[in-house]
Amino acid sequence: MNLIELYIQEVTRRLPEKSRKDIGLELQSTIEDMLPEDFTEEDVKEVLKKLGNPAVLASGYRDRPQYLIGPEIYDIYISLLKMVLPIAITISVMALVAEKVMGYSGNESVMQVILSVIGKGIWNAISTGMQVFFWITLVFAILERTGTGIAQYSMTTWQKEWKPEDLKDIPYVPKKKAITRWEVSGSVIWTAIWGSLYYYASNLVGVYRSGDNGLELTTPVFNEHVLHSYWPLVVIAILLELLLAISKFRIGKWTMRLAFFNLSTQFIAFVILIIIFTNNQIFATAFMDLLSIVSAGQKELIGAVIIIFGISAAIDVFSGFRKARI
């Protein structure tokens, strides 16, 4: 008798509270049915052996899924992870770079700052990755347990029933026209880098000399207040570039409209650059003095900057149109 009660307890303790009593009673009567009239402990053992491992029996009764994320929503879970992880990691690293650049006091050498950014950046990337992984997994595990109905219909296919006609709505993206995710994050990172350089020009952009604390910035290139008086134009350029990156990400391939958008963004940025650099006061006098030592003039420097920027912008615009036309 004792063995039977122990067996039933082993099964029912693994079951939800409300079904314990009923299943326990049924098991009890089933076991008694299986036993002969005058049974010995050996008979009981024989019967319990037939019923098998109580944990296995209990798991048969449970209708809760024994997995974290089921096949219906696994697809979308993986694709969401692949989409969100790189973006989150990029943002976290960018935030770190911005923080380091903004908090730059001039006491540390540039090399030290770069090394600490790399070290902390790796750590940030790992911890952000784990955070994102955890939260997305948690949300999907909850969805699996509560919203399977919703999940079945709307997650796997995003539609109730798949029809061959649905294929017509899917844009065909040839490899040559495609804009990769890396391209988009690359351009966002580039915007963040030049934006920070602009904001912290007087601390970052200049002539470096090796001093007591490693490299030291001795002569800033720009006249800070002149440079910063152009802030509304710079903000416009940053916004345009971000908007371009978002459109690239959403459309996913080069189209004529996108190519024209790219052209206007590059053109406006180019014009802003010319406006800023043709200001006579833009360079710091100390820097101009240094320049005259190597017998280079302001005009040559400005010319070089504008030409380099112009050529790279033209290449970018041209390749956009070329890809759009394929």
Partner 1 sequence: MTLLQSLTTELRRGTLTLAVLSQLRKPQYGYSLVQSLEASGISIDQSTLYPLLRRLEKQELVTSSWDTSESRPRKYYVLSEYGTEILQQLKEEWKKTSDELSILLKGEEEDESD
Q: CB 13 → partner 1: shortest distance, Å?
A: 16
Among 4, 10, 14, 23, the residue binding partner 1 under the rule CB under 8 A is 23
What is the 3 state secondary structure string of the chain?
CHHHHHHHHHHHCCCCHHHHHHHHHHHHHHHHHHCCCCCCHHHHHHHHHHHCCHHHHHHHHCCCCCCCCCHHHHHHHHHHHHHHHHHHHHHHHHHHHHHHHHCCCCCCCHHHHHHHHHHHHHHHHHHHHHHHHHHHHHHHHHHHHHCHHHHHHHCCCCCCCCCHHHHHHCCCCCCCCECCHHHHHHHHHHHHHHHHHHHCHHHHCEEEEEECCEEEEEEECECHHHHHCCHHHHHHHHHHHHHHHHHHHHHCECCHHHHHHHHHHHHHHHHHHHHHHCCCCCECHHHHHHHHHCCCCHHHHHHHHHHHHHHHHHHHHHHHHHHHHC
> Binding to partner 1 by residue 286, rule CB under 8 A?
no
Query: By rule CB under 8 A, what count of residues binds partner 1?
Result: 19
**Residue 6 makes contact with partner 1 by CB under 8 A:** no
Q: Is residue 326 involved in binding partner 1 (CB under 8 A)?
A: no
Straight-line distance from the first to the last Cα atom of the chain, in angstroms, rounded to the nearest whole number: 82
Q: Which residue stretch of 20-28, 152-160, 280-288, 296-304 sits at the interface with partner 1 (rule: CB under 8 A)?
A: 20-28
Checking DSSP bridges between strand 206-211 and strand 214-220, what pairing results, if any?
Answer: antiparallel
Binding of partner 1 by 131 (CB under 8 A): no
Using the rule CB under 8 A, is 33 a contact of partner 1? yes
Among residues 4, 10, 24, 34, which is the contact residue for partner 1, using CB under 8 A?
Answer: 34
Closer by beta carbon to partner 1, 46 or else 224:
46
The residue (of 33 and 212) whose beta carbon lies closer to partner 1 is 33
Taking CB under 8 A as the rule, does residue 32 contact partner 1? yes
57 counts as binding partner 1 under rule CB under 8 A: yes
> Quick one: 16 or 211, whose CB is closer to partner 1?
16
Kindly state the smallest distance separating residue 1's Cβ from partner 1, in Å.
Answer: 14
Shortest distance, position 40 Cβ to partner 1, whole Å: 19
- Binding window for partner 1 (CB under 8 A); candidates: 29-37, 89-97, 206-214, 231-239: 29-37
- 53 versus 319: smaller Cβ distance to partner 1: 53
Binding flag, residue 64, partner 1 (CB under 8 A): no
Task: Name the residues that contact partner 1, by CB under 8 A.
Answer: 22-23, 25-27, 29-30, 32-34, 50-53, 56-57, 60-61, 63
